[in-house]
Structure 1
Amino acid sequence: MIKNVLPFLMIAVMIVSCKSNKEASTANKDNSMTSLDWNGIYVGTIPCADCEGIKTVITLNNDLTFTKKTQYLGKSTDVHTENGAFTWNKAGNTVTLKSDVTYNYFVGEHILARLDSSGKKITGDLADKYILKQQSVDALKDTPWKLVELRGKAVENSQKQPFLILSSDDNRVSGNSSCNGFGGEYKLLEGNRIAFSKIMHTMMACQNMTIENEFMQVLEVADNYTLVNGVLNLNKGRMATMAKFEVDYFVN
């Protein structure tokens, strides 16, 4: 009797063992590195001891390289850029950025949370300030769009960087035209149609007003847009693109 039962017991043990190993293997694979779309751009403002904050933009690439850009707000307009490689920890939930200074970041769903010097999550009232949020490459609203081309010509040597931001709160558009700041309203309609109205701007005089004048003319007549891979185009009908924009989190 025992001889007859023994083979079945051995088979049962093998099945349970295989199931346990499979569950353990699945659990080990279920981490930030394997289950999240972690590659992309993360933006936030880190607390600063002697400035208004450190605007930080980190790009994580699939080939395990990164670009980190920082700007000390209220202290300098310079943007410091670092490039390097990063590694994952064994748990697959934390990345280490290796450059002049090494920093560790916990990788969550659409966030990077900077860790303290001992590799632990920062706590306290300022904890949320150490979290960078992942940006959508094709997020039209609340994104700083830098003007890089007007009517097929590259935008260069302007007094200030021309840009616009389409606010999601009140359908307001704001930005700089290369000389003056401006603001107004916009509407989004079906079929990627867009309309700008009630555009007002400051009245400062600059040496070269060509870019400003052309930029404002584009806003008056543009009636549709395209947004692909982080490039925004403003168009009139089916004519050639009148203005091309790229994302720049440091324009102001």
Structure 2
Amino acid sequence: MKTQTGKWALGVLMLAVVTVTACKSNREAGQANPDPAHNSQNALDWAGMYQGTLPCADCPGIQTTLTLSEDGGYTLQTSYLERGDSVYTETGQFTWDDAGGRITLDGDGQKFQVGENRLIQLDHEGNRITGTLADHYVLEKIDDTLIGKYWKLVELHGKPVEPGSTMKEPFIRLTAVSNRVEGTGGCNGMGGTFELKAPNRIGFSHMIRTMMACENMEIENDMIGVLETADSYHVSTDTLQLFRARMAPLAKFVAVPDN
């Protein structure tokens, strides 16, 4: 009986040794063939334009646009709300941390955590900002294919806008500075603001225009109505379409050189 007990104990010990050895071998194999490193720097499409309104200690907010280039350059534009129309622009280089998850701007040392289509502003120590406003320290990536182009109006509610049918060529141009939109409906100059949100969402403010009277004002009136009701868009090559509630296109524009 004593011999059988000894054999049983020896068997248990050998099983334990085999199990530990197998687990160790599996771990070592996993260490020898680790997954390729995946971090924000090498796994995300981080280059592009980011926008948002960051908290401000003594104003309603800081409207911020940060553009990151693949060569490590950046352009930072900030505008303090309710402090006039002053826009501050800063350019420079940014650096990644060793983990490839955070960047630091070389200008004033601002730090951001790089996520999927967003940047999260960090404190100067590189930590997430906490408190009731924590969720507001975010810049969202926007579709910059719309920005800076001269978009000529070519169609309204499915009907072509013929060249020469208005005194001026109807167009819009969206700029990143203060999210401004400007243009003309064919007679009056007009302007306002816009907001972009993923995926392919857009909204325009009430459009302000001059008060000239021209022939064929229907096109201008309809164009302004489209801008003030559109809630989404689609860009294909050099064509921009505006929609409302995924219905038929309200208007179509093409990108052309400035006149």
Length-normalised TM-score, structure 2: 0.56
Structure 1, gaps ≥5 residues long: 1-12, 180-205, 235-240, 246-252
CA gap 1:42/1:221 in 2 versus in 1, 3 angstroms = closer
Which amino acid in 2 is paired with 1:114? Q
Question: Highest CA radius of gyration, 1 or 2?
Answer: 2
Structure 2 equivalent of residue 249 of structure 1: none
Equivalent-residue separation in structure 2 for 1:172 and 1:106 (angstroms): 26
Which amino acid in 2 is paired with 1:75? R
Structure 1 equivalent of residue 221 of structure 2: 216
Equivalent-residue separation in structure 2 for 1:164 and 1:119 (angstroms): 32
Q: CA deviation at 1:161?
A: 2.1
Equivalent-residue separation in structure 2 for 1:133 and 1:176 (angstroms): 23
Structure 2 equivalent of residue 69 of structure 1: 77
SS for the counterpart of 1:82 is: strand
Structure 1 equivalent of residue 33 of structure 2: 22
SS for the counterpart of 2:126 is: coil
1:102 has 2:109 as partner:
yes
1:175 has 2:209 as partner:
no
Structure 2 equivalent of residue 89 of structure 1: 97
| Deviation per residue, 1:184-219 (Å, 9 max, x gap) | xxxxxxxxxxxxxxxxxxxxxx45466x94532446
CA gap 1:49/1:159 in 2 versus in 1, 3 angstroms = farther
Structure 2 equivalent of residue 127 of structure 1: 134
Q: RMSD across aligned C-alpha pairs, in angstroms?
A: 4.5
Equivalent-residue separation in structure 1 for 2:197 and 2:112 (angstroms): 29
The counterpart of 2:120, out of the listed 93, 103, 113, is: 113
Identity of aligned residues (%): 30
Which amino acid in 1 is paired with 2:54? I
SS for the counterpart of 1:161 is: strand
The counterpart of 1:42, out of the listed 50, 54, 64, is: 50
Q: CA deviation at 1:41?
A: 2.0
Length-normalised TM-score, structure 1: 0.57
